[in-house]
Structure 1
Amino acid sequence: MKTNTIYLLVLLFMSYFSSMEILAQKNKSNQFIVVLDAGHGGHDSGNRGSGYFEKNIALNIVLKVGKELEKNKNIKILYTRTDDTFVTLKGRADIANKADADLFVSIHCDAFHNNANGAGTFVLGLHRSKDNFEIAKKENEVIFLEENYEETYAGFDPNSPESFIGLTILQEEYLDQSILLAGLIQTNFVNSLKRNDRSVRQAGFLVLRETYMPSVLIETGFLTYKPEGEYLNSKKGQNEMAAEISKGIISYKKNLALATSNAQSPVITEKEIDEAIKSTEKKIYEGIDFKVQLAASSKKLATKPYNFKGLKNVDREKEGNLYKYFYGKTSNYNEIQLMKAYVQDKGYKSAFVVAFKGSEKVKLSEVLIQQAK
């Protein structure tokens, strides 16, 4: 996997439990709402690399993704546009927010002055490099095509790095889920379609800032790189990219259902959790051990089942003046989510996932971002 320089701002360790509880509440309804956003449109053509129209390619892919997802009766699709019309960045986000959507997926094509190529997937965050800033800047400059943009975006300047500093606040509680979705889609691009891997990255996209749910922006490839432009402009390329995006979204929905399964049924048995672990997709993080933290206490308790609501194989570690108690140990992120759902069902409602590298505890958000690339 690719490695990049350390983020300018890394998300402070968040309570994964709280965000999953929010998502669990949303998913009590039968429909899972996905908002698909085709970038640009109308008088905003997007980039014109090799003579193609980004707005047309993005729309074609979005409509194909929607058609594929609509085969699932529990998924409801909303579009920010279905034809060649211009929609403001805030208008796109408003569609998702008003619908109380479960996911927001924005699709674009990239451009550069050299032979850069490959697919990349973005979640909201401070740009960590000049390249990330330039990509976000280019997509955000569409606000100059909007009336009253200075009032709408409170003086936001796409050309100023300082304008990006506050962008992550509204999306922080959903960053975990956004990274998961981005990683699933990006993995599909690389493994199934053999696209050059430009990784999962963070950048300051306004359209992501304005949404209140897990959100990703996909740069499907570079129209300025002739072979890739031809591919993305073709029915074959659009069908293939749409299929892998759809698979990523469906896989995310399945992962979410497993991780919040305690909200769907009153009791989870050990047999059910074992069967779910065996059937779930493996998402391995080499060199990382995930555990579920059950509790922290100044008391040193024996790690026996009678002290932990019948849970076996509980570990105890001392950090400062506190003893911390953990359940499970695995490098499979999907598996640890199932374990977390299991212990929450047992009564540890505030249990959350932690990550270790060797004996050292590391930030979960850093692990997910660094190894999702």
Structure 2
Amino acid sequence: MRTKFFALFIFFSLTISLATASAAEDPYLEKFVVVIDAGHGGQDPGNSWNGYSEKNIALNIALKVGAELEKLPDVKVIYTRKSDVFVTLAGRAQIANKAKADLFVSIHMNGHKSQAQGTETFVLGLHRNEDNLEVAMRENEVIFLEEDYEMTYDGFDPNSPESYIGLTLMQEEYLEQSILLADLIQKNFTNINKRVNRGVKQAGFLVLRETYMPSVLVEAGFLSNKSEGAYLNSAAGQTAISESIVRAVKDYKNSMNLEILQNIEANPAVDLVDEAPKPTLDVYDGITFKVQLAATGKKLDPSARNFKGLTQVSRNKEGKLFKYYYGATSSYGQVQDLHEEAKRKGYRDSYIVAFRGNEKISVNDALKTKMK
């Protein structure tokens, strides 16, 4: 009897294990991929001030960020380096591109001959001032450690301002999402860590130029500032900085609404009865307003079951991103009502967008259009 019971126990245990493994590998529940890039490494030390090493601090923070994100069952973390090794700028971007990552976060420490302090997070773009250019030049100089860097980076000279003039905004289609993540990071640094906020900025970082997903470069503080350098070199400081980055990634992920796939079976779609439309007295000629629910590299079926019961969802591929819109109307009053409904459904970070024909324009420009 005991033998039979034991055999049944083993059978059911194996059955449950196989079912669990099958669920974990379900391609329908595709994971959100984050690439964590610890700046510098190996023969490239980065900034070295007051006995503090950028490459070591960046790695410590990157590993802490990755360890926390790995606790999330729907997130996959990939590191460009997990030890003190040298990785080229192009190599870092290739890792992210090969993984078809949803986010790329590069972590660095700043330095300056003054006692400057504070955090700043960069997205790719043309530098707006000499300080931004100086930071980009310093981070890009690492290519001189690479063989055949002239060919790899198409003759780019990190020490020549003229090279930056010709820098095209390769990430233009991801700029909106990159700025969103950068802003979330800066707000956490400021509000939670109480660091000096130097803002979200644009500059010509080669590592960002080569990536094909929303990407940011974080300068978590100045090692050249004695008090801030000590903070960044401490375990407490590194933990605090990493927690703010993790919180920003989580908030960004939630705003992209990728988790909508997880409760599809548990929450079947409900057919809603449409209310009678309100009179449209504010119709704008040639303008279509929509509510943007999500923007992601994942291609989803725009059906009600995937969007919490919303039935008028459309999908449009813009660059490498799929964007999901709710409703379509020329009435600004009606789209405001749609926006409120989307927020009630849980899309708190949704917002109104406007189109003139197939061209996306700002809502302000749309509202300047003549009404019918």
Relative to the length of structure 1, the TM-score reads 0.69
Aligned residues: 289
- Tell me the CA shift for residue 159 of structure 1: 1.8
1:324 counterpart = 2:287: yes
- In 2, the alpha carbon distance for the partners of 1:342 and 1:325 equals 23
Counterparts of 1:225-236 in structure 2, within 5 Å, are 225-236=225-236
5+ residue gaps, structure 1, are: 1-26, 272-304, 329-335, 363-373
Q: Could you tell me which amino acid in structure 2 is paired with residue 59 of structure 1?
A: L
> 2:67 corresponds to which residue?
67
Change (3 A) 1:53 1:34: same
Change (3 A) 1:323 1:241: same
- In 1, the alpha carbon distance for the partners of 2:131 and 2:193 equals 24
> 1:118 corresponds to which residue?
118
For the residue of structure 1 that corresponds to 2:286, the secondary structure is strand
1:78 counterpart = 2:41: no
- Tell me the CA shift for residue 164 of structure 1: 2.5
- In 2, the alpha carbon distance for the partners of 1:315 and 1:183 equals 37
Change (3 A) 1:230 1:80: same
- Tell me the CA shift for residue 349 of structure 1: 4.2
- Check the 8 A contact 1:36/1:80 in 2, yes or no: yes
For the residue of structure 2 that corresponds to 1:78, the secondary structure is strand
Change (3 A) 1:270 1:316: farther
For the residue of structure 2 that corresponds to 1:43, the secondary structure is coil
- Tell me the CA shift for residue 203 of structure 1: 0.7
Larger Rg: 2
- In 1, the alpha carbon distance for the partners of 2:270 and 2:208 equals 38
Counterparts of 1:134-213 in structure 2, within 5 Å, are 134-213=134-213
Change (3 A) 1:186 1:147: same
Change (3 A) 1:263 1:84: closer
5+ residue gaps, structure 2, are: 1-26, 295-301, 317-324, 326-351, 355-361
Q: Could you tell me which amino acid in structure 1 is paired with residue 162 of structure 2?
A: E
CA displacement, residues 53-82 of structure 1 (integer Å, 9 cap, x when unaligned): 000000000000011111101111111101
> 1:128 corresponds to which residue?
128
CA displacement, residues 177-206 of structure 1 (integer Å, 9 cap, x when unaligned): 111111111110001111100111111100
Change (3 A) 1:163 1:29: farther
Q: Could you tell me which amino acid in structure 2 is paired with residue 171 of structure 1?
A: Q
- Check the 8 A contact 1:315/1:327 in 2, yes or no: no
- Tell me the CA shift for residue 30 of structure 1: 2.1
- Check the 8 A contact 2:36/2:78 in 1, yes or no: yes
Counterparts of 1:262-341 in structure 2, within 5 Å, are 316-318=282-284, 322-326=285-289, 337=293
Change (3 A) 1:29 1:89: farther
- Of the three residues 346, 351, 357, the one matched with 2:312 is 346
- Check the 8 A contact 1:40/1:55 in 2, yes or no: yes
- In 2, the alpha carbon distance for the partners of 1:179 and 1:200 equals 7
Using the TM superposition, name which of 166-175 and 127-136 deviates more: 166-175
1:99 counterpart = 2:126: no
For the residue of structure 2 that corresponds to 1:170, the secondary structure is coil
Q: Could you tell me which amino acid in structure 2 is paired with residue 176 of structure 1?
A: E
- In 1, the alpha carbon distance for the partners of 2:279 and 2:40 equals 53
CA displacement, residues 144-178 of structure 1 (integer Å, 9 cap, x when unaligned): 11111111111001122332245444311111111
For the residue of structure 2 that corresponds to 1:120, the secondary structure is strand
- In 2, the alpha carbon distance for the partners of 1:242 and 1:52 equals 18
- Tell me the CA shift for residue 264 of structure 1: 9.3
CA displacement, residues 93-147 of structure 1 (integer Å, 9 cap, x when unaligned): 0000111111110000000111110011111111111111111111001101111
- Tell me the CA shift for residue 50 of structure 1: 1.7
Q: How large is the Cα RMSD of the aligned pairs? A: 3.3
Change (3 A) 1:104 1:264: farther
> 2:89 corresponds to which residue?
89
- Check the 8 A contact 2:62/2:242 in 1, yes or no: yes
- Check the 8 A contact 1:97/1:212 in 2, yes or no: yes
- In 2, the alpha carbon distance for the partners of 1:356 and 1:109 equals 38
Relative to the length of structure 2, the TM-score reads 0.69
Change (3 A) 1:311 1:140: farther
- Check the 8 A contact 1:316/1:323 in 2, yes or no: no
For the residue of structure 2 that corresponds to 1:141, the secondary structure is helix
- In 2, the alpha carbon distance for the partners of 1:172 and 1:53 equals 33
Change (3 A) 1:242 1:262: closer
- Check the 8 A contact 2:126/2:165 in 1, yes or no: yes
Q: Could you tell me which amino acid in structure 2 is paired with residue 151 of structure 1?
A: M
- Check the 8 A contact 1:58/1:109 in 2, yes or no: yes
Report 1 or 2 for greater relative contact order, CA contacts < 8 Å, sequence distance ≥ 6: 1
- In 1, the alpha carbon distance for the partners of 2:279 and 2:34 equals 39
- In 2, the alpha carbon distance for the partners of 1:85 and 1:315 equals 64
- In 2, the alpha carbon distance for the partners of 1:76 and 1:164 equals 34
Q: Could you tell me which amino acid in structure 2 is paired with residue 324 of structure 1?
A: I
Q: Could you tell me which amino acid in structure 2 is paired with residue 326 of structure 1?
A: F
